Structure 1
Amino acid sequence: MKFRTAAIQYKLADIESFEQFAEQVTHYVRNASEYGVQFILFPEFFTTQLMSIGDEHGKALSIDRLPDFTDDYLRLFRSLSAEYGVYIIGGTHVIKTADDSLRNAAHLFHPSGKIDVQHKIHITPSEVEGWNMSAGEALEVFETEYGTIAMLTCYDIEFPEIVRMARAKGADVIFCPSCTDDRHGFYRVRYCCHARAVENQIYIVTTGTVGSLRKVDLMRANFGQAAVIAPNDIPFPPAGILSEGIINDDMLVVADLDLALLEEVRLRGAVTTWRDRRTDLYTDWK
């Protein structure tokens, strides 16, 4: 099984309406579709751009107003997924749960109109202190026409256990939307993506926000780069990078993922990390 994926380095800038947001999103989807992709990944927290629309006093909207755009967000991405016949991981969007808590949620839009959701499981201190985010409570994997995937957001990828669980449940590709404001955060996520690819012999597709929202607290600085990452073994590039963008540029990257190569290295690779894990000493998941 082979498929092509794109990852968007989404450039944040202050806007005045949802229509401006929709135009920018549509531009990226149309651009990616010209490369014949089957999957498109947007970054974490890119819908915070909607907070810059502001209130009647010109001040940025507060984080608890972001869920007000959920219906429009879902409608936009469902429409684009169907129109272009692609799976879209619509980055993450802040939603409200039944008990009115805020969750950072990744959304997978199927061309059929189906929508899958994965709440971010590990929440950073700044998300808790600055935005009062609450953590997701379960890991899911999702079936697509091109195999089983998982969506783990930014900080999630820094926890080996959760990625091992995703692989044990059948995921061959992890889509990792991210949002980091400096080099330290960016490289924490990036290096962990490489480690998880080696440990589990999987592909990681990751991207982050670039640009800045001058009105929005916690989003005034962004440091990002998209990359498609493979295990470090003979069928793949030595550094494990199938494709990567130019840091902090407004762009997208594209790469082909061959799932058969993953099976090959799991069986006959220079190392067979997935096969050689010691489940007699540590379990994959419960």
Structure 2
Amino acid sequence: MKFRVSAVQYELADIDSFDEFAAQAAHYVRNASEYGTQFLLFPEFMTTQLLSIRGEDGKALGIQSLPDFTEAYEGLFAGLAREYGMHIIAGTHVVRTAEGKLRNTAYLFGPDGSMRTQAKIHLTPTEVEEWNMSAGDGLEVFDTPYGKIAMLTCYDIEFPEIVRMARAKGADVIFCPSCTDDRHGFYRVRYCCHARAVENQVYIVTTGTVGSLRRVDFMRANYGQAAVITPNDIPFPPKGIMCEGTENRDMLIVADLDLSLLEDVRRSGSVTTWRDRRTDLYGDWS
């Protein structure tokens, strides 16, 4: 199975209306469609751009206001996925649960009108202490016409166990939207993406926010880069990087994934890390 993926280095800048956000998102989707993309990934917290819209008091909106945009956000990306015949992982959006909790949630929109979600499982101190968010309580792996995928957001990729669970459930591609404000955070996520690709012999598609929201607390600095990361074995590039963007630039990257290569290295690669797990010594989710 072969298919094409794209990832957006989404440039955050203050806006004054939802229409401005929609126009920027549509631009990236149109751009990806020109390359024949089947899966398009946006970064974590891209919708915090909506908080820069001023409220009645002239100040930026607070995080509690972000769920008010959920219906418009879902309608926008569901429409774009149908219009362009594309699977869109529309970054993450903060939603409010029936119990009134805030959840940082990744969305997968399908060209058939489907909409599936994965709440972030591991939360950073800022998400908990400053934004009072609640963690997701389960992992889903999603069947698509191009195989099984999982969506693990930013900090999630730093926990080997959850990625091992995704692979045990059949995921061949992990989409990892992220949002990091400095190089330390960026490289934590990036190096862990490489480790998870080696450990589980999967592809990882990741991207982050770039730019700055001058009006929005905790979003005034962003350090990001998109990349398509592979296992480190002979069918793939030696550094395990199929492609990557230019750091902190507004841009799109594109790559073709071949799932048969994953099966080849799992069966007879230079190393066979997935097959060689020592489940007699440590637990395993499969």
Unaligned runs of 5+ in 1: none
User: 1:34: which partner in 2?
Assistant: 34
User: Which secondary structure does the structure 2 equivalent of 1:61 belong to?
Assistant: coil
User: 1:284: which partner in 2?
Assistant: 284
User: 1:104: which partner in 2?
Assistant: 104
Whole-Å separation in 2 of the counterparts to 1:240 and 1:106 = 25
1:29-51 CA-to-partner distances (Å, cap 9, x unmatched) read 00011000100000000000000
Matches within 5 A, 1:31-70: 31-70=31-70
Query: How far apart are residue 182 of structure 1 and its match?
Result: 0.1
Aligned residue type for 2:119: H
User: 2:241: which partner in 1?
Assistant: 241
Aligned residue type for 1:22: A
User: Which secondary structure does the structure 2 equivalent of 1:14 belong to?
Assistant: coil
Matches within 5 A, 1:178-257: 178-257=178-257
C-alpha RMSD over aligned residues: 0.7
1:80-125 CA-to-partner distances (Å, cap 9, x unmatched) read 0000000000000000001100000000001101111000000000
Whole-Å separation in 2 of the counterparts to 1:51 and 1:126 = 17
Aligned residue type for 1:121: I
Whole-Å separation in 2 of the counterparts to 1:233 and 1:3 = 20
Query: How far apart are residue 279 of structure 1 and its match?
Result: 1.6
Query: How far apart are residue 281 of structure 1 and its match?
Result: 2.1
User: 2:72: which partner in 1?
Assistant: 72
User: Which secondary structure does the structure 2 equivalent of 1:134 belong to?
Assistant: coil
Query: How far apart are residue 180 of structure 1 and its match?
Result: 0.1
1:156-177 CA-to-partner distances (Å, cap 9, x unmatched) read 0000000000000000000000
Matches within 5 A, 1:6-17: 6-17=6-17
Aligned residue type for 2:279: T
1:236-264 CA-to-partner distances (Å, cap 9, x unmatched) read 00000001000000001000000000000
Whole-Å separation in 1 of the counterparts to 2:139 and 2:121 = 8
User: 1:139: which partner in 2?
Assistant: 139
Normalised by the size of structure 1, how large is the TM-score? Answer: 0.99
Residues 1:85 and 2:102 are matched in the alignment: no
Whole-Å separation in 1 of the counterparts to 2:58 and 2:282 = 54
Whole-Å separation in 1 of the counterparts to 2:25 and 2:284 = 37
Aligned residue type for 2:172: D
Query: How far apart are residue 285 of structure 1 and its match?
Result: 2.1
User: Which secondary structure does the structure 2 equivalent of 1:195 belong to?
Assistant: helix
Query: How far apart are residue 201 of structure 1 and its match?
Result: 0.2
Matches within 5 A, 1:17-28: 17-28=17-28
Unaligned runs of 5+ in 2: none
Aligned residue type for 1:182: D
Whole-Å separation in 2 of the counterparts to 1:81 and 1:233 = 34
Whole-Å separation in 2 of the counterparts to 1:36 and 1:251 = 16
User: 1:274: which partner in 2?
Assistant: 274
Deviating above 6 A after TM superposition, structure 1's stretches of 4 or more consecutive aligned residues are: none
Query: How far apart are residue 278 of structure 1 and its match?
Result: 1.1
Count of paired positions: 286
Whole-Å separation in 2 of the counterparts to 1:44 and 1:236 = 27
Counting aligned pairs with the same residue, the percent is: 75
